[in-house]
Chain A
Amino acid sequence: MESKIGVYICECGPNISEKVDIDKVIDAVKDLEGVAVVERYKLLCSEDGKKFLVEQIKKHGLTHLVIAACSPRDHEKTFREVCENAGINPFLFQLANIREQCAWITDDKDEATKKSIRLTKAAIRRVRYHTSLEKKEIEGNPDVLVIGGGIAGIETSLQLASPVRKVYLVEKTSSLGGLINTFEKIYPNMELGSDLIKQKNLEIEKNENIKVFTETEVEKVVGFLGNFEVTVKKTSQDNSSQDFNVGAIVLATGSRLFDPKLTPQYGYGKLDNVITSLEFEKMNLSGKISLKNGKSPATIAIINCVGRDKKGYCSEICCMYSLKFIRYLKEKISNIKVTNFYSDLCIPGKRQQKFYEETKGKNIDFVRSKDIEVNKKADKLEIKYKDENGSKKNLSADMVILAPAVEPTIDASKIAEITSISQGNGGFFAEEHEKLAPISTSTEGVYIAGCAHGPKNIFDSITQAEAASGKILTSLIPGRKIEPEIKVSHISESLCIGCKTCLTVCSYGAISFDEAKKISVVNEVICRGCGNCVAACPSGAANIKHFTFNQLYQEIMEAIQ
């Protein structure tokens, strides 16, 4: 069928009409091959404008539509809907951006007009090679995979599990609870950590919609929001693996401590009685705070900000738990003297200040310091430091508790790889936008909760868990259809030679290899349409819908004509 292209140029009020000589554009394109009609209109995205377009398409029997107006990021969707309403395939449409790209970037009307002509011509040339694409719909799976059984993971699971939504909670250790298992008490209210975990464990056990996998790791994830295929594998016993399908994934893989051996000045690993905060929590939980020789310490130094310079960020929670440690110590060892070394005291929030005020007191020194060094002196530890004024000082202590920086768990990069998301500062999972989308990731349907996102206290972890749950509850409504990407890759069976180059570069596992035919095959439901495989394929066997070699080539050639 001969193509009849309708070209419509939007005045966008004064936005375009004042900066671009629209009549010149009309003149330049009206005789191009395939162009049936060229018109200008005051505001095409308005209700009137849309009605006008539908009428035009029907009246002229148009087969293709080109609109010269604003950015496709603004109104491509709008005009695709217009196409649908007028009965032509929404992909037989191309939008030339003459507003953001022409009208708004120069005061030279002549140049803006020239560029508008180029872009409109290129769009007309391109649209001639467009083909109809059909929308696909699949039923979204409402189930959720939660990776990590700490408090963030537990809370997410409890929020989400319901008779219409199954939750798979995967934990790599043998029990749920994460780091809280080692905490005797939880600041600022100093309730028992074990109570919290016990209660949560019980709720999980009772909930028949949560399937817990312990000693299990996630091996593979392919798919997208509403349809992720997941493979998990037991780390113990038989290494058996299991596959299931979920609609969303929450990463709650938590954190661990920076290894203080990498900052040798604190003597960790070399000197007795220099321990990390977590080791101290465990010691405290065991009921006896003691030195290596079994004696009770009389003087204790807590050193904050260990590794902060190396990591390049404040770990937010150390100051607060150091205060909690002081509470433990004061409670359990009478007359204990504690010196808390810090570089900046970080006690934000509505309850923390009060907690700090209540912790201060006799025998508790808060010392702002730098250049700390811990050495052995006789049977004690000697802490050399510079005080606020830069003067060199010494302090002797029986025990040193280090508060090292918080960093992501060791398998964070593997999880990032598996779920195709990126890692940001310090290796924590990167959010999509630090303000506007703080728990979403670059992979739609994958969310972050808790310390996997950055150092967080329990309160903040739970807040995030609930936020992630909210995201999922609103986007994955059971029974609602989802639309997988339409502009996906396709590999020609006759041209593919099976070198697997495409498969290697695909971030999503969307390409599999047909061993019988020795060719690569795109799973169109998983493909996200980036086109990486297409550029990687040397023989042109791979192509991507709506961004085909020919469509782009024609657009380029016309643009530089």
Chain B
Amino acid sequence: MTKALVINNNYEKGLIDFLKNLLENGKVKGVFSLKKINKEGDVTFSLISKPEDLDDAVPFYPIMPVNAGSLMSRFTMKQPATESIIAVLKPCEIRAFVELIKREQGSLENITILSFTCGGVYTHRMVADDLITKNLSKYWDAVKSEKILDDLRPACRSCDEFIPYNSDITVDLIGNKDIDKQLTMILNTEKGGNLVKDIKGKNVEKNLNDKKLENFKDKREKEKKKLFDEIDPKIKGLDNLIDTFGKCISCHACGRVCPICYCTVCEFESPDAEYKPSNFETELNKRGALRVPPGTIYFHLGRLDHIAISCVGCGACEDVCPVDIPLSIIFKKIGESVQKMFDYVPGKNTDEELPLSTFEKEELVEYEE
């Protein structure tokens, strides 16, 4: 059993009050959370220092404008947080942040992570069409009753890593019928425990509801299998791959929003990737014709090679794809496959080495001739 604090208040209101309290008492100097930023109700990730500004915070709002792992990286890459900060992050955002930290792109110093069992998020399409608010009650009903909604992003519908790793405080949401009246915060670490010390509420020993979460996981896994099975014929063999990626417009938006794609300049946009006039000659003599700009399949295969090992399946790529290529499922499928090969779960452990930065002397002999 883990220590937990139960506050008799609505999950969202309760959390906002809690965060306010932290700011008011100076326990933290900043809160990272989703927040409404204008009268239209547009929501973005925000850094909040004034308690009153938390009134517009919507920490559990079911959208992911950007994977906030990359935002936390941006915040801490030049300098670790100098004052105490709390960040409300989704499980895949924490995992992305951890993967970035392993690549020296950020630091957990002075940062407390608050997360939750995540029910998934809606698409940018629905954000653009202003459909989120209308769907909120349906969304929370589904979370309470461990249901999977059809209109969530495919990456979320098929996500079985909805319980956060490395969170100091985890809010119990999925399968918790009482969230409208009760905010339950599981205190996973001492850091988390220290923050809630003077907070009014009931101190209990409690775990997440394993049975309900398992039930939920089953459903998610089934959905994942379904989506994986559906994607399979679309990506098997070069011809199918060309069909699937044929409509790609080479905007590289997938890479741009991918939290694991952290390079200053993507190798596929670097001078090395450019074709010289003689390269076009070579290709034309060989093929008779060539799509231009060239390198569509090369880009996606190359990106798979670069990031699949660390792909956290957040789905940001698919969400921004202007031509609806089912990137998130493709990357998740290949990602899980190569991760399994190295027994690696990206973002699970901060001290686990990146598989390509280390080796075992005796391994992978089946790949040798």
Contacts and interface: CB of A to CB of B under 8 A. Distances in A.
Nearest to B78: A518
Most interface-central of A495, A505, A540 (chain B CB within 10 A): A540
Contact of A557 (B103, B282, B357): B282
A311 interface: no
Contacts of B363: none
A518 B270 CA distance: 20
B272 interface: yes
Contacts of B286: 561
Interface stretch (A295-303, A449-457, A496-504): A496-504
Contact of A538 (B263, B271, B278): B263
B264 interface: yes
Contacts of A558: 282
Given A494-B264, A497-B105, A497-B262, A540 B272 contact: yes
B214 interface: no
Contact of A539 (B105, B264, B278): B264
A30 B356 CA distance: 44
Interface in A479-500: 494-500
A411 interface: no
A550 interface: yes
B53 interface: no
Given A497-B105, A558-B282, A536 B356 contact: yes
B362 to A, nearest CB: 13
Interface in A518-556: 518, 536, 538-541, 549-550, 553-554
Nearest to B262: A497
Nearest to A129: B276
Interface in B40-85: 77-78
A108 interface: no
Given A497-B105, A500-B103, A553-B272, A541 B357 contact: no
Contacts of A494: 264-265
B25 interface: no
A539 B263 contact: yes
B105 A538 contact: no
B267 interface: yes
B272 A539 contact: no
Nearest to A499: B103
Nearest to A561: B282
A100 interface: no
A495 B272 contact: no
B136 interface: no
B interface, size bucket: 20 to 34
Given A496-B264, A499-B104, A561 B270 contact: no
Nearest to A549: B272
B194 interface: no
Contacts of B285: 561
B306 A538 contact: yes
A518 B73 CA distance: 14
Contacts of B278: 33, 125
Interface in B240-273: 262-267, 270-273
Nearest to B260: A538
Contacts of A495: 263-265, 270
A539 B78 contact: no
Nearest to B77: A518
**Interface SS, A side:** loop
Given A536-B356, A538-B306, A540-B272, A501 B103 contact: yes
Contacts of A550: 272
A504 B354 CA distance: 10
Most interface-central of A518, A538, A540 (chain B CB within 10 A): A538
Interface residues of A, number: 25
B279 interface: yes
Contacts of A497: 105, 262-264
Given A518-B78, A558-B282, A504 B267 contact: no
Interface in A5-41: 33
B103 A539 contact: no
Interface in A372-409: none
A540 B270 contact: yes
Nearest to B285: A561
A498 B104 contact: yes
A171 to B, nearest CB: 29
Given A540-B272, A561-B286, A499 B265 contact: no
Contacts of B273: 540
A230 to B, nearest CB: 26
A557 B279 CA distance: 8
A88 B273 CA distance: 29
Given A496-B264, A497-B263, A500-B103, A539 B270 contact: yes
Contacts of A33: 278
A539 B263 CA distance: 6
A497 B262 CA distance: 8
Most interface-central of A494, A496, A497 (chain B CB within 10 A): A497
Contacts of B356: 501, 536
A498 B107 CA distance: 14
A199 to B, nearest CB: 43
A501 B306 CA distance: 12
A303 B168 CA distance: 60
Given A498-B104, A501-B357, A539 B282 contact: no
Contacts of A505: 357
A101 to B, nearest CB: 20
A554 B272 CA distance: 11
A138 B78 CA distance: 37
Interface in B264-317: 264-267, 270-273, 278-279, 282, 285-286, 306
Most interface-central of B77, B78, B262, B357 (chain A CB within 10 A): B357
Nearest to A560: B286
Nearest to A548: B272
A549 B104 CA distance: 25
A549 B273 CA distance: 9
A83 to B, nearest CB: 24
Nearest to B268: A540
A541 B272 contact: no
B264 A541 contact: yes
B357 A539 contact: no
Contacts of B105: 497-499
A561 B282 CA distance: 7
A541 to B, nearest CB: 7
Given A495-B270, A501-B103, A539 B279 contact: no
Interface string A105-128: 000000000000000000001000
A549 B279 CA distance: 14
Interface in A164-179: none
Interface string A70-96: 000000000000000000000000000
A342 B338 CA distance: 52
B270 A499 contact: no
A499 B264 contact: no
Given A501-B357, A550-B272, 13 more contacts: A495-B263, A495-B270, A497-B262, A497-B264, A498-B104, A498-B105, A501-B103, A505-B357, A539-B263, A539-B265, A539-B270, A540-B273, A558-B282
18 contacts: A33-B278, A125-B278, A494-B265, A495-B265, A497-B264, A499-B104, A499-B262, A501-B356, A504-B357, A505-B357, A538-B263, A540-B267, A540-B270, A540-B272, A541-B263, A553-B272, A558-B282, A561-B286
Interface of B: 77-78, 103-105, 262-267, 270-273, 278-279, 282, 285-286, 306, 354, 356-358
Ranked 9 nearest A-B pairs via Cβ: A539-B263, A499-B103, A540-B267, A549-B272, A504-B357, A540-B270, A497-B264, A500-B104, A538-B306
